[in-house]
Amino acid sequence: MAAQTHSREVQQTTLDPTLLAVLANRFEAIVREMTQTLLRAGRSATISIARDFSCSITTSVTGQHELLAAAEGLPAHIYGSHLQAQAMCELHPDLAEGDAFLHNDPYLGNSHPADHTILVPVFCEGQHLFTAVAKAHLSDIGNALPTSYMPAARDVYEEGALLFPCVCVQRAYADVDDIIRLCRRRIRVPEQWYGDYLAMVGAARVGERKIQDLVAKYGSETIKTFVHEWLDYSERRMIHAIRQLPGGDVIGTGRHDPFPGLPDGLPLKVEIAIDTQAGRIAVDLRDNPDNVAGGANSSEACSISSVMQGIFSALDPDVPHNAGSFRRIHVKLREGCVVGIPRFPHSCSLATTNPANRLVVITQSAFAELGDGWGTAEGGVAQNAGYAVISGTDTRRNGAAYVNQLILGGNGGPASPGCDGWVTYGIAVISGLLYRDSVEIDEQKYPLFVKSEKLAQDSGGPGRFRGAPAIEAEYGPKGDPVTLTFPMEGYETPAKGARGGQAGSRAWAIKIDRDGSEIPLPNIFTGDLLPGEFIRYRDCGGGGYGPPTERNPEDVRRDVLERWVSVEQARVAYGVVLTGSIEDETLAVDQEATRELREQLGK
């Protein structure tokens, strides 16, 4: 079965072009206001520090549910919003103003169960024209273990999350208390959940009110015309952007590391067909393995959003990201496929990270096959101890319980045809959109001691443009034991380079005992650390772009001075011979020896 994105004849505008720009701008501004509300009012650190949430507006003006505006949302959160709005309407024919729905069901359009979504249907002059969507990743959703990621769950029952298949949670602007009580009973740290819930409802209601004001001002007919034309306009931008690409078919391949339910790992394939003439891109994910008995199954929303994210990073960033541009991308999915449409009751606990990360980087780097100047290398994918969900009690706070996801990790970003990789990357699906934690705040809030966090030398993939280095860090409990769980990937298969660039370094994690002995940890870890024990980890380095022997030797020298690259790697990978010393900054490129070495390496 194929998940068809809608397409219709592209027409020229009839609305005043100025008004088109004004209204598009206004809808984006409304999403930003929703975002601000949620960021500032959110209760958990995942929302208020890390910004692991997104807001969007979908529209039903076109006769179906389509994404209209997304501002700075995470693609993994947003690009499937229309599926959720559609579910809301199908399940609730009696939809009314003042309703709000809680939706976290990955079999019904959500990304993964830990993303609680609040949907508010927006009524204008009695018609349901838009849906305001606020979605946030919560640290706890009532899973069997205190984590929002359950890699080993063989199905939803083992996973244990409370699933809300788009359930009415507010009627006439008042909470449906049964649902609130249910959540407060079954979700750990209920105060935190309720605070986040209020912030999400608040954000969606802000969106509702602002949209209603806008429609009141311009009239619903004008707004409807706007929606049609804005989506058509976005589609035209997309056609133009696709026509800039060299045409052809490319196949990206990669592999998800061995994982629960995946003893041999998971080979993945993204088949991309670019029809520049027609201005269309087709992506076929059907030739991939079936659903697995673990938490790493993708949801329909994540299968779509991951390849979309990869494709959009290969195009002009100014193209609007909405249903209009989506019409030009046809993502072919298969039911029961691990990166397709999940078959119940396979678990999608990790859908937004594994295998979404792999799909994003495989798609991005596949575009590099089109020629130099296109696509990027792969970015890092390790969701390591720096992204662990930690839980326990804190004696400093009279034994108060906590559950939260740390954002202390950081993979190297991919090198591109224009610049070195970014260190502020996070993981592929984040790509620099989440905030990392403050060590000081983490130590204040949790019984933790962070020993160090640094960028690791030689971890970025060598290339004409260098992949970004990975974070290497060490932390442990302080005073109280800490339970942590993380499902690490990228410990076998690194972030690949592109067009002759080399791979970044792999991820690892070790436990350091009280006596100082080092014990390598399995990639899936759930366990307690006791005071005096530490965990040390490194995420993946980003892949390089272009042959490293084409990197400007002066840039290599600077990298060595800055300790991004060792003298050894400069010679072996980049073919750059250096003289002098780093310490007194007398380091210099031996031009002659470098030329010779590069010639040799080129052979």
Partner 1 sequence: MGYRIGIDVGGTFTDFVAVNTDQQMYSGKTPTIAADEAASVFGGLEQIAAHFGVSLQTLLAETDPIVLGTTVVTNTMLEFAGANIGLITTKGFRDVIELRRGYKESLFDIRLPPPHPIVERGKRLGVTERIDASGRIVTPLDEAEVYAALEHLRGVGVEAVAVCLLFSFVNPVHERRVRDIIHEVDPDLFVSLSSDVLPQVREFERVSTTVVNAYTSPKLRAYLEQLSARLEAQGFRGGLFLMQSNGGMMDIGFAREHGVDAVLSGPSGGVVAATFLGEQSGYKNIITADMGGTSYDVCLIKDSAPEVGVDNWISRYRVAVPLIDIHTIGAGGGSIAWLDDAGALRVGPRSAGAQPGPACYDRGGTEPTVTDADLVLGYLDAGSFLDGHMALDRHAAHRAIRQHIAEPMNISVEEAASGIFDIANNSMINAIRYVSVARGRDPRDFALLAFGGAGPVHAGTQVRDLGIRTILVPKNASVLSALGNLIANFKVSKVQSFIAKSDRVDLEELNGVLARLHQEAEVLLGDRSRIREVLVRRFLDIRYEGQVQEVIVPIQARTRRLSEVSLAQTLEEFHELHEQIYKFQRPEQSVEIVSVRLDMIGVRAPLHFESHPFEDEDAGHARKGRRPVYFEPHGFVDTDIYDGERVRPGNLITGPAIIEEANTSVVLYPNQEAMLDQFLTYVIQVAK
- CA–CA distance, 364 with 375 (Å, rounded to integer): 6
Shortest Cβ 563–partner 1 spacing (Å): 6
What are residue 154's phi and psi, to 5 degrees?
Answer: -75, -25
How far apart are the C-alpha atoms of 272 and 365, rounded to whole Å?
12
Size of residue set near partner 1 by CB under 8 A: 88
- Under 8 Å CB-to-CB from 195, ≥6 apart: which residues? 42, 43, 44
- The yes or no reply on residue 471 touching partner 1 (CB under 8 A) is yes
- Residue 332 CA to residue 437 CA, distance in Å, equals 37
User: Judged by CB under 8 A, which of 44, 60, 84, 291 binds partner 1?
Assistant: 44
**277 contributes a contact to partner 1 by CB under 8 A:** no
212-271: contacts with partner 1 (CB under 8 A): 233-234, 236-237, 240-241
**DSSP 8-state code for residue 414:** P
Residues 66-95 that bind partner 1 (CB under 8 A): 72, 75
152 vs 30, 58, 347, 350, CA distance in Å?
40, 34, 9, 10
Shortest distance, position 187 Cβ to partner 1, whole Å: 15
Please identify, using beta-carbon distances, which residue of 49 and 114 lies nearer to partner 1.
49
Please count the CA atoms within 13 angstroms of the CA of 29 that sit on its side-chain side: 9
Question: Shortest distance, CB of residue 52 to partner 1, whole angstroms?
Answer: 11
Residue of the chain from 21, 144, 216, 530 that contacts partner 1 (CB under 8 A) = 21
CB of 426 to partner 1, least distance (A): 6
| Site mask for partner 1 (CB under 8 A), range 564-603, x = bound | x-----------------xxxx------------------
Output the CA angle 488-492-498, nearest 5 degrees. Answer: 110
| Cα dist from 384 to 192, 387, 409, 478, whole Å | 24, 6, 7, 20
20 binds partner 1 (CB under 8 A): yes
Q: By CB under 8 A, name the one of 419, 520, 552, 554 that touches partner 1.
A: 419
* Alpha carbon distance 252, 366 (integer Å): 5
How far is residue 467 from each of residues 86, 528, 543, 576, measured CA to CA in Å? 40, 34, 5, 17
Q: How far is the CB of 25 from partner 1 (least distance, A)?
A: 6
Q: Which residue has the tokens 């999915």?
A: 333
Q: Which is nearer to partner 1, 1 or 419 (CB)?
A: 419
Report CA-CA distances (Å) from 7 to 10, 29, 284, 319, 324. Answer: 9, 27, 18, 17, 8
Contacts of partner 1 in 339-398 (CB under 8 A)? 376
Nearer residue to partner 1 within complex by CB, 341 or 427: 427
- The smaller minimum CB distance to partner 1, of residues 193 and 574, is found at 193
Ranges within 422-451 binding partner 1 (CB under 8 A): 422-426, 431-436, 438-441, 443-444, 449, 451
Smallest gap from residue 2 Cβ to partner 1 (A): 26
| 327 phi and psi angles, rounded to 5 deg | -60, -25
When binding is defined by CB under 8 A, the residue of 2, 29, 89, 176 that contacts partner 1 is: 29
Q: Which tokens is 435 given?
A: 């905030």
**Under 8 Å between Cβ of 142 and 162:** yes
Of the candidate residues 175, 369, 453, 550, the single one contacting partner 1 (CB under 8 A): 453
Give me the least distance between CB of 218 and partner 1, in Å please: 11
For the window 144-183, what string marks contact with partner 1 as x by the rule CB under 8 A?
----------------------------------------
Minimum distance from CB of 262 to partner 1 (Å)?
29
Which of 422, 491 has the CB closer to partner 1?
422
Tell the smallest beta-carbon distance from residue 36 to partner 1 (Å).
6
Nearest to 132 by CA among 168, 72, 172, 85: 85
Indicate the residue among 9 and 592 with the shorter CB distance to partner 1. 9
Residues 192-221 that bind partner 1 (CB under 8 A): 192, 195, 198-199, 202, 205-206
Q: How many CA atoms lie within 13 A of 581 on its CB side?
A: 2
Applying CB under 8 A, which of residues 2, 15, 39, 182 lies at the interface with partner 1? 39
Kindly state the smallest distance separating residue 105's Cβ from partner 1, in Å: 26
Tokens 């409304």 map to which residue? Answer: 30
In single-letter form, the type of residue at position 86 comes to Q
Question: Residue 417 in contact with residue 154, Cβ under 8 Å?
Answer: no
279, 410, 476, 504: which one contacts partner 1 (CB under 8 A)? 410
Query: Which positions from 529 to 568 touch partner 1 by CB under 8 A, shown as an x/- string?
Result: --------------------------------xxxx----
Give the whole-angstrom CA distance, residue 66 versus residue 80. 9
What is the torsion angle, in degrees rounded to the nearest 10, for the CA atoms of residue 318, residue 322, residue 324 and residue 328?
A: 80
Shortest reach from residue 310's CB to partner 1, in Å: 10
Q: Is position 191 an interface residue for partner 1 (rule: CB under 8 A)?
A: yes
Taking the complex as a whole, the smallest distance from the CB of residue 444 to partner 1 amounts, in Å, to 5
User: How many residues are recorded in the chain?
Assistant: 603
Q: Are 535 and 477 in contact (CB under 8 A)?
A: no
Nearer to partner 1, 52 or 66 (CB): 52
Shortest gap between Cβ of 103 and partner 1 (angstroms)? 21
Pairing of strands 518-520, 578-579: unpaired
